[in-house]
């Protein structure tokens, strides 16, 4: 009985040992060998070499276009519109008549004051003659002078009121939409039409506190607007504000641009770039080549790797050099392309390209699309037939 139990125990121990060896040693080794021999499929990507370009640092901002001279033409006094002398969108010169308010009452008062002035002057002449003959007192002459002066002042007041009701262009420029009609009553300060001087034109834009010292008055400005895609307007920095905004810690800067074609209009949204510093040579790559993450920015660099021949194809001992033996006995093999993930330090961006300050050299191939399929050391195939094309309208920077 004991002998049978001993034999059964040995059989069970052998069985458990075999199961344990299979699960703990043989099976993991087989899996590891299989995984090590299994090569991932070749990933198809697009790539292009990093370029060495000359860039000038730019301080970018968002601004608003403002007319150097721009007002809403409005009357100083109220009245009925008797005539207007312009149409919407016309160009006018300084001093040109725009609107005439009714002045019939003022003209009547003017005639009355002219008559009173004429009477006062005749009375003054008579009193001056009497004083010379010592027929009347000096006080009477002074009273006549005062009446004459009062009549002159009354006449000048009426003339000033007539001038206020004759609305002239304060400067040369372009008119906006007419907002007045004949017979309409307008009150003091009511807007009749916009008048804007469009050439040159201002652009106001905020600059962060840290960028204020990068440029000075006279620095060149490049400006773009959504209305004219791809067109760059040039100007210069004219002035800086006297203080920073305590809320945003930005300084308002004003630039001046020539606008002979009047393409730029007051109120337009503008993307402004101020050229700061001297040109520098930088290594640049397409923006799509850079992968941004919390752990750092990186690019995939394509490397050429010579294929390793299999052991079975290794040449036997021979007097020939190794290179000659491979060339004679082994078939031609193409160079493999692999990728290496490289962390980089990025710089400024311009027109869809990113400057790489550190990490990539000029001429190195970088992957521009297909990065999600890659892992370090993966084999790749470059096919630029379906290269990503930038959109017609670039995103705002």
Residue 319 has pLDDT above 70, yes or no: no
Residue 3 has pLDDT above 80, yes or no: no
Q: Which residues pair with residue 196 across a beta bridge?
A: 70, 174
Residue 318 has pLDDT above 60, yes or no: no
Which strand (E) or helix (H) includes residue 138? helix 138-164
Nearest to 207 by CA among 233, 245, 234, 257: 245
Residue 131 has pLDDT above 80, yes or no: no
Residue 235 has pLDDT above 80, yes or no: yes
Instruction: Identify the three-state secondary structure at position 225.
Output: strand
Q: State the Cα–Cα distance between residues 365 and 267, nearest whole angstrom.
A: 45
pLDDT number for residue 301 = 92
pLDDT number for residue 140 = 73
Helix axes 104-132, 138-164, angle to 10 degrees: 160
Residue 238 has pLDDT above 70, yes or no: yes
Q: Which residues pair with residue 72 across a beta bridge?
A: 194
Query: Number of H helices and number of E strands within the chain?
Result: 5, 20
Average pLDDT over residues 42-65: 87
Nearest to 196 by CA among 68, 63, 64: 68
Dihedral class, residue 87 (left if φ above 0, else alpha if ψ from -120 to 50, else beta): beta
pLDDT number for residue 334 = 62
pLDDT number for residue 322 = 34
Q: Are residues 196 and 173 in contact, defined by beta-carbon separation less than 8 angstroms?
A: yes
- Confidence tier at 253 by pLDDT (50, 70, 90): very high
Residue 256 has pLDDT above 90, yes or no: yes
Each residue of 166-178: pLDDT tens digit? Answer: 888 888 888 888 8
Average pLDDT over residues 268-294: 87
Residue 396 has pLDDT above 90, yes or no: no
Are β-strands 193-208 and 220-225 bridged in parallel, bridged antiparallel, or unpaired? Answer: unpaired
Provide, rounded to the nearest whole percent, the portion of the chain with pLDDT above 90: 9
Residue 392 has pLDDT above 60, yes or no: no
CA distances from 379 to 10, 307, 382 (A): 52, 11, 10
Each residue of 193-225: pLDDT tens digit? Answer: 889 888 889 999 999 888 888 888 888 998 988
pLDDT number for residue 323 = 36
CB count in 10 Å sphere of residue 218: 8
* Strands, E assignment, the chain: 43-49, 51-55, 58-73, 79-84, 91-92, 97-101, 166-168, 173-175, 185-186, 193-208, 220-225, 233-244, 250-257, 269-275, 280-286, 297-305, 336-350, 353-358, 365-369, 380-382
Q: Which two tokens stand for residue 62?
A: 């968002």
∠ CA 86-87-89, rounded to 5°? 115
Of the listed ranges 169-173, 267-271, 346-350, 382-386, the one predicted with least confidence: 382-386
pLDDT number for residue 35 = 67
- Confidence tier at 349 by pLDDT (50, 70, 90): confident
Q: State the Cα–Cα distance between residues 182 and 84, nearest whole angstrom.
A: 7
- Confidence tier at 309 by pLDDT (50, 70, 90): low
Protein fold of 59-67+195-275: Elongation Factor Tu (Ef-tu); domain 3 (2.40.30)
Residue 247 has pLDDT above 90, yes or no: no
Q: Which residues contact 290 (CB under 8 A, 6 or more apart)?
A: 297, 298, 299, 344, 346, 354
Domain layout of the chain by residue ranges: 43-53+281-386, 59-67+195-275, 103-164
Average pLDDT over residues 38-50: 82
Of 41-45, 204-208, 332-336, 373-377, the range with the highest mean pLDDT is 204-208
Mean pLDDT score of the chain, rounded to an integer? 81
Q: Judge residue 358's burial from the number of C-beta atoms within 10 Å of its C-beta, 0-12 exposed, 13-18 middle, 19 or more buried.
A: exposed
Provide, rounded to the nearest whole percent, the portion of the chain with pLDDT above 70: 87
Residue 60 has pLDDT above 80, yes or no: yes
Nearest to 205 by CA among 62, 318, 320: 62
pLDDT number for residue 136 = 67
Residue 332 has pLDDT above 90, yes or no: no
- Confidence tier at 382 by pLDDT (50, 70, 90): confident
Of the two residues 36 and 99, the one the predictor is more confident about is: 99
Q: Which residues contact 365 (CB under 8 A, 6 or more apart)?
A: 47, 48, 49, 50, 301, 302, 382
Q: What is the CATH number of domain 43-53+281-386?
A: 2.40.420.20
Which strand (E) or helix (H) includes residue 142? helix 138-164
Q: State the Cα–Cα distance between residues 124 and 26, nearest whole angstrom.
A: 135
CATH, domain 103-164, list 1.10.287.470, 3.30.70.890, 2.40.50.200, 1.20.1050.10? 1.10.287.470
Are β-strands 43-49 and 380-382 bridged in parallel, bridged antiparallel, or unpaired? Answer: parallel
pLDDT number for residue 393 = 56
Residue 272 has pLDDT above 50, yes or no: yes
pLDDT number for residue 78 = 86
CB count in 10 Å sphere of residue 164: 16
């Amino acid at each position: 009985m004991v002998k049978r139990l001993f034999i059964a125990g040995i059989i069970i121990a052998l069985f458990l040992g075999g199961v344990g060896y299979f699960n703990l040693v043989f099976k993991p080794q087989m899996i590891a060998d299989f995984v090590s021999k299994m090569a991932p499929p070749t990933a198809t990507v697009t790539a292009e070499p990093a370029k060495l370009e000359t860039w000038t640092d730019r301080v970018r901002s968002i601004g608003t276009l403002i007319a150097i001279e721009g007002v809403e033409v409005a009357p100083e006094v109220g009245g009925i519109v008797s005539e207007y002398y312009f149409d919407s969108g016309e160009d006018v010169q300084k001093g040109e008549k725009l609107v005439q308010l009714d002045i019939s009452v003022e003209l009547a008062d003017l005639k009355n004051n002219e008559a009173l002035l004429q009477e006062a002057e005749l009375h003054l002449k008579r009193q001056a003659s009497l004083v010379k003959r010592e027929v009347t007192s000096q006080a009477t002459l002074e009273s006549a002078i005062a009446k004459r002066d009062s009549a002159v002042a009354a006449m000048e007041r009426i003339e000033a009121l007539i001038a206020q009701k004759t609305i002239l262009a304060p400067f040369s420029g372009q008119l906006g939409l007419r907002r007045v009609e004949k017979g309409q009553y307008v009150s003091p300060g009511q807007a009749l039409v916009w008048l804007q001087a469009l050439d040159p034109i201002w652009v106001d834009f905020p600059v962060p506190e840290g960028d204020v010292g990068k440029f000075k008055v006279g620095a060149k400005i490049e400006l773009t607007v959504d209305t004219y895609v791809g067109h760059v307007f040039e100007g210069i920095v004219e002035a800086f504000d006297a203080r920073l905004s305590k809320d945003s810690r930005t300084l308002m800067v004003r630039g001046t641009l020539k606008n002979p074609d009047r393409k730029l209009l007051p109120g337009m949204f503008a993307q402004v770039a101020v050229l700061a510093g001297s040109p520098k040579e930088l290594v640049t790559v397409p923006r799509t080549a850079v992968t941004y993450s919390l752990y750092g920015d990186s690019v995939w660099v394509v490397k050429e790797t010579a294929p390793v021949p299999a052991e079975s194809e290794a040449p036997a001992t021979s007097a020939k050099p190794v290179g000659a033996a491979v060339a004679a006995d082994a078939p031609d093999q193409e160079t493999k392309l692999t990728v290496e993930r490289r962390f980089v330090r990025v710089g400024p961006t311009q027109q869809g390209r990113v400057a790489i300050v550190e990490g990539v050299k000029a001429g190195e191939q970088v992957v521009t699309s297909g990065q999600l399929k890659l892992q370090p050391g993966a084999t790749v195939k470059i096919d630029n037939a379906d290269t990503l094309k930038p959109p017609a309208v670039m995103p705002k920077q």
